[in-house]
Structure 1
Amino acid sequence: MRNCIEYVLRQDKTSELLTYVTGPYCHDEINYDLVYRTFLEEKKMWDKDSGRMYAHNIISWHKDEQITPEQALEFGKEFAENWFSGFQTLMAVHKDKDHIHCHLVTNSVSYEDGRKLHNTKKDLERMKQLTNQMCRERGLTVVEKGKHFDGSQIEKGEVIAWSKDKYNLFRQQVKDSFVADCAMAILKALENCISKEKFIEKMKQFGWSVNWIEKRKHITFQNQDGKKVRDSNLSKTFHLDISKEGLENEFDRNRQKARDSVNRDSRSDEELAGYYRQVEAACEGADGVTGASDGRERRVTGEKSEDERVYPEISGKDTQAENGKTEVILRELRNARRNSEVKRRNSSFDNRNVRNAEVESIASAEQRRFEEQKRLEEQERARAARRRNKRRSGPEL
């Protein structure tokens, strides 16, 4: 606590005009030694000078925010008097950075009744709501989720780290960061993944095991070196939705994409088959023109037409050219049929994969429901057995 107070009141970070203490404080000067002794005396008065000694909070504004250090101090006073009512709180505005921020160090023992200060996660969320409301009342900017200070959208995958050390790590040594490596592996695994089981299998191929348990809120990823990353950490750092619900939604989108691809291929096959039928009809029509009934009879009997007798060389060339064109068309038709058959088989294979994945997903869900039902039944049997034992072990009259 002493070190924290000393840091907050450093002269190179603040000035005497930008400091204040709420609650009992009988000294004219504000320095770290006097504030420390005042906090400690209050603790000893209530015999609570051990355990958690203080709470340290920071209210920070963007570098482009139109706020003065004096306004920031008044903001901190109002917040402390509302939120930390009954507790001594030291506040100091720092202006050594490119953005103004206000430090609040609160004594963990109340000077009114000696109760200890406790803040839960829900309390932290309410603190955020209070500061947002105070900003709106003053016409200051309120941070919106997924947006920068200027209101522009944060791009998917953009590094947003609330820890200074973590942010520097990502900026300077992203290649050596196992957290960044985990995020990259997840993005690769999600490209065509259509089920939880396939996702876990792909992550294992990339060197990451996935601890995805239905009863637990978060997913934990662990690499071969034993380093762990939680899904909430990845979501906050990289502005990605890597929660259970977010991943399940991504699986659903990938399944829909696969179905749409199969439908498009089926329509293409039908259109291509119609085109082939038209080509075949055209080829048959060409054969009928060059081979009418009387022509076929003459070829059988060996007779020649007048044109063939007068211009034998021209007639032969025309026939060869016509036959060559027909052969080219038929060859292209056969090749196109083979390609269509290959595409059809591939589409069928992809469709089977989608159906199998859906069956596996349904089976997994059924298995989970069965196991949950079995667990509930066992618990009920155990409770019934305890009730029976309790009745049997009652006092005899």
Structure 2
Amino acid sequence: MAVSKLWSVTTRLGQVIDYATNPKKTAVRIIYTKAQYQALRDVIDYAKDEEKTEQEFYVEGINCNPETARDQFVSVKQGYGKEDGIQAYHGYLSFKEQDISPELAQKIGMEFANEVWGKRYQIVVTTHLNTKHLHCHFVINSVSFVDGKRLWGEEKAWFKFRLVADRICEKYGLYYNPKPNRSKQSSYYYKKEKAGMPTRYTMAREAIDKAISHSTNLAAMKYALKEMGCELQVSESRKYWTIIIKGYDKPIRLKNLGEEYTNEAIKRRLIENQRMKIEPFQRETFRPRQYRLPTRGNKLRKKGGLYGLYLYYCYRLGYLPKYKKQNTARLHYLLKEDLLKLDRISMEARLLGRENISTDKELFSYKASIENQIETLTDERTHLRKTLRRNLSDDELSKVKGQISTITDRIRTLRKEVTLCDGIAERSKVIEHNLEQVHADEDKFKGKERNRYEQRR
């Protein structure tokens, strides 16, 4: 069996001819081993090899001399004024057999090229020996030397040339497939399916299998596929049944999906369902999942303790985060009452964070330590005031008064700390109660919204 292909060449005509006549690919080798084949240069290397050897090359020309083929191709183009556009066509003919001789491969290639293009075009025919399977290369001039017309229509319909190749292979006793399966998936889809990736072919199979599992006739199957967003074209008058998958425009022939999806196979599967109890197809209702991402409020609420309670309360009041503009329009009425006390609440929160206070016990312990400091400083200040009654110099008097002023400022600051502690002890219970009421009202509102949503569905 000969595998064939043809493609156009728009630039660098000489490079293509040099590639086809490359001595490293057409040279006769006495022994053909895998190592020798793998050691050959890449077939994409189009650079011409100028080093000639005394070995024999399988390079022939039809209506031209292969050594000067490029110049002869160009001369014909210039003669008819068709030097632009496609310069030539490059094709190949590869043989499945590994024991075919280079002489026979070249003979078949020449016979094939003569029958297809030999009457009107110049062709360079070569046989490459650098791969596991011998193959012939053809370089065809795009302009005919007979009438100056370009290679066109059926002259380059390579799909039709396979019949000529098969006939010649049969003539020389080579293998060929009289009924090839030309409806196979492309290698792109095959590789994606092999890797476990979804393709429109796998989607089509899944949709058809699901539709057949709920159907006993073609009408029910067509309805099920329609409900899934697919369009099925089936009719006794149609040779090929097709399906268009949701999200695609190009139809797929069912026979291309496999043996279980041909017209006869689908009819057989539907008839088998008639012997069993089949549940009718029901369209699946889509119920969207709602994901709630954690907010800053959730994180503050999980912090716990008095400090976490105050931080979360400041967040609900809109005081936190600082970068976000405070919006009091949608605040709960219980929270709005504490907006006027926001400065005092923020000071209490800073105290809890600075001293790392989380429990009532730690709060009262801190308050007791502050009161002890106040008592000690008060005694010290009383002693200094008694010192002022003595006869002191001006410098000593000024020094004692400065110490008294410093102690007084320190006592004033500590008394504010005590006041904040008292405020925290009193306000924390109120904050907890307010937040409980706010959460209860929010849960009640969410329940009503959920019920409305279910009713609309």
The normalised TM-score by structure 1 is 0.47
User: Could you say which structure has the higher helix fraction?
Assistant: 1
The normalised TM-score by structure 2 is 0.42
